[in-house]
Amino acid sequence: MYPVDLLNRRNESFVLWVPGSSSAANAPKLIIGNVIKSGSSKTFSQIARLPLVPSPDKSGLWLLGPSSISPPLADGVYHYWFEVNDTSPESRGTLLVSDPFAFAVDYSVANTTDPSVPPQPASVVRLRDDKLWPCDIDGADPPRPAVPSLAALPSNNHLVIYELPASWAKIGNDHRGVDVDVGTFADVLALFKSDAPGDHFSAVAAVHKEAILANLGINALELLPAADSKTQDEWGYATAHYFAPDYNLGTASDLVRLVDAIHGQNTRFFTDVVMAFGHDSYGSIDFPDFHIRPTLETNNPDSYQSHASGVLRDGYGGDSWRYLRTVQSYDPETGAGTSGVHPSWAFHRSQLARWMADFGVDGLRLDSVNNIGNWDFVRSYKERAWELYNARYGGSPAPAGTDPSKFLVIGEELSMPISMVQQGVLNALWNEPWQGRLRAVLLGEVANDVDFASTVRKLVDCRLDDKLDGGTRFTDGAQAINYITSHDIEGFRKERLYNFLSSNGIWDVERRAKLAFALLLTSVGIPMIFAGEEFADQMDRSVDMAKKQTDPVNYSRKNDGGWRQALFDYVANLVRFRTACPALGENETDFFHVDASRGGKIMAWRRGQVSGATSTHVVVVANFSDEQTPGSQYVVPNWPGRDLPGWREVSQRRDVPADWVGREPLIPWEAKIYTRWREDGT
């Protein structure tokens, strides 16, 4: 069962919700049949073409029970479309379209070969005992993932997120050429389990014989949109079938296996969701109620972005979702017969319920929230996500045992509307200025701040950045997602770290990369690692940015036996430290040393609270210059807890003699990380 009336009705009938149509004269039709396989080819054999029937008491709801189909259907797997009159501005006449609520689609059986008409893959369903059941395209019944123990999952302030386009899990070649992305959910699983070969990894020793991401120690996996996209050669942001896992990445069963596996490693599952625009079949079924062309409705406030005055929303080749429209219609969530409904709101809240229930989502990233253009909808979506999370662990509203630190709804918008967080529209935002400051610091530059020390302070403690959204600030580390690199590698100083350093004449990539990760993994905020940065993978195809979406991680570089392997080991050590050390989950930060004699390029700061003899705070000392400290010692004054026993240096995994606490020298571009905390409590 689902907390969505329409999804439950799909077990009894073929269902199509068309808020703008209840007239039998314009009845949509069901086209249903079998797929006949002959070698590698598939042929659709139509069994029936029948009109759907309007519900007598649910305005806009169309139904057809399987028992109404003639000739009678035997138990088995069926492919189907809906036949509708195109309501888009192009008005292309009668079309076959996919079920917008389909749980599985099959692109090998498409409705057209005409390149001028967007392909609509067949929707797939299984009939058993006169009931309709979700299934994979091979007919398998996908299970639901087990609900993980809440106590075992990491809290938001101890997350380390790994951002991965699922197709990038494997480098290979196909009709697009060499070195393109051919990864699947099974290949992502191989990154976590050494005994999972993946679909394509048998020749990649770094994956076939290891579990790279388990060894890295990350505790949150963020897949770029896992819902079905109309494109094969992009990251998945052209979402076409919101309720179905991506056809090229694998089946629902494959995704559940992945989610169960990472939950078994106490790792949370995040997915990206694209709700600013879509490539879905509602663009033909009921365009006026679900979509908008901003250039055609410039007097409609729904046409404009929410945090950029006068800027039209961008469909990026799709159609912008319409969010201000209210209709009197059946409510697919509550089942109410006729009520005031925002069609797009109800659609997206329904697909949220599907993903939360069937794929165990533990967090969400909402793409381009300004381009959605409606804060009320974003707030509603966020609040519904929290209701579903709370219900997973015992009911809604939240029971006493539900932990609010184990779920998160993140927004992405480079204009940094932090007021969306402070007003409760979102829980967190991507902290894009963090990347800019880091890249400046790695070159010894000031990033639009008063001086170098100010740049470092705002880098280390995001709460100090007062240049965002009219002075609105982050107030907690769990509100900011910091990153060295993201999938958005296009633009000034956005490229992969290796390419950024190389293009700026930095020959010792390993040392600067280690400094970058030391800062990322000890700063206030949630650190996110873009796939491949943990061993400084480099851009191959995406040197030509037109190919950036098909420039996958080359995981074979990780085991080079040299500096990349050393970098991976360094990062993995700090990831484990970040996920476990209590002080790094706190906001408290104190910059107690800036060496003015060296241009402010040597600094020291404390993370976490000082609590007397039992204090387990963290101290970071960093040299942002080309010069090593002179002599055998470099004394850092005002070291908090210098006289306490048990200090160790984390990045080099060694104890520090009492006489050397706060006195160790630094080589150029080095950060040393000290603490008295030990994971075993000794």
- In whole angstroms, give the CA distance from residue 341 to residue 330: 8
| Confidence band for 664, pLDDT divided at 50, 70 and 90 | very high
DSSP-based helix, strand, coil % in the chain, nearest 5 = 30, 25, 45
Question: Which one is predicted more confidently, 487 or 174?
Answer: 487
| Confidence band for 236, pLDDT divided at 50, 70 and 90 | confident
In the numeric block, the tokens 């770029």 are attached to 224
Bridge partners of 618? 607, 675
In the numeric block, the tokens 């079920």 are attached to 99
User: What pLDDT score does 207 carry?
Assistant: 64
Are β-strands 177-181 and 131-133 bridged in parallel, bridged antiparallel, or unpaired? unpaired
- Taking 90 as the threshold, does the pLDDT of residue 661 lie above it? yes
- Taking 90 as the threshold, does the pLDDT of residue 41 lie above it? no
- Taking 60 as the threshold, does the pLDDT of residue 396 lie above it? no
Of 247, 261, 320, give the one whose Cα is nearest residue 98. 247
Rg (CA), the chain: 27
In the numeric block, the tokens 């990233």 are attached to 365
User: What pLDDT score does 384 carry?
Assistant: 98
- Taking 70 as the threshold, does the pLDDT of residue 42 lie above it? yes
CB 565 within 8 A of CB 555: no
**For 394-410, what is the mean pLDDT?**
76
Of 349, 333, 359, give the one whose Cα is nearest residue 385. 349
Cβ contacts of 58 within 8 Å, gap of 6 or more: 330, 335, 337, 338
| Confidence band for 418, pLDDT divided at 50, 70 and 90 | very high
Bridge partners of 341? 327
Q: CA-CA distances (angstroms) from residue 648 to 271, 617, 620, 661?
A: 37, 12, 12, 9
- Taking 90 as the threshold, does the pLDDT of residue 635 lie above it? yes
Q: Which one-letter amino acid corresponds to residue 501?
A: L
**For 583-588, what is the mean pLDDT?**
97
User: What pLDDT score does 581 carry?
Assistant: 97
- In whole angstroms, give the CA distance from residue 624 to residue 617: 23
| Confidence band for 678, pLDDT divided at 50, 70 and 90 | very high
And the tokens for 44? 């659709």
Cβ contacts of 216 within 8 Å, gap of 6 or more: 162, 529, 534, 568, 571, 572, 575
- In whole angstroms, give the CA distance from residue 119 to residue 112: 6
- In whole angstroms, give the CA distance from residue 649 to residue 651: 6
The span from the first CA to the last CA of the chain, in angstroms, equals 49
And the tokens for 74? 């035997």
User: Going along 557-682, which residue ranges are E strands?
Assistant: 589-594, 602-607, 618-623, 648-649, 654-655, 670-675
- Taking 80 as the threshold, does the pLDDT of residue 175 lie above it? no
User: What pLDDT score does 196 carry?
Assistant: 85
* Ranges 193-202, 211-220, 432-441, 602-611: which has the least confidence: 193-202
- In whole angstroms, give the CA distance from residue 539 to residue 544: 9
* Ranges 512-521, 544-553, 592-601: which has the least confidence: 544-553
The model's pTM is 0.96
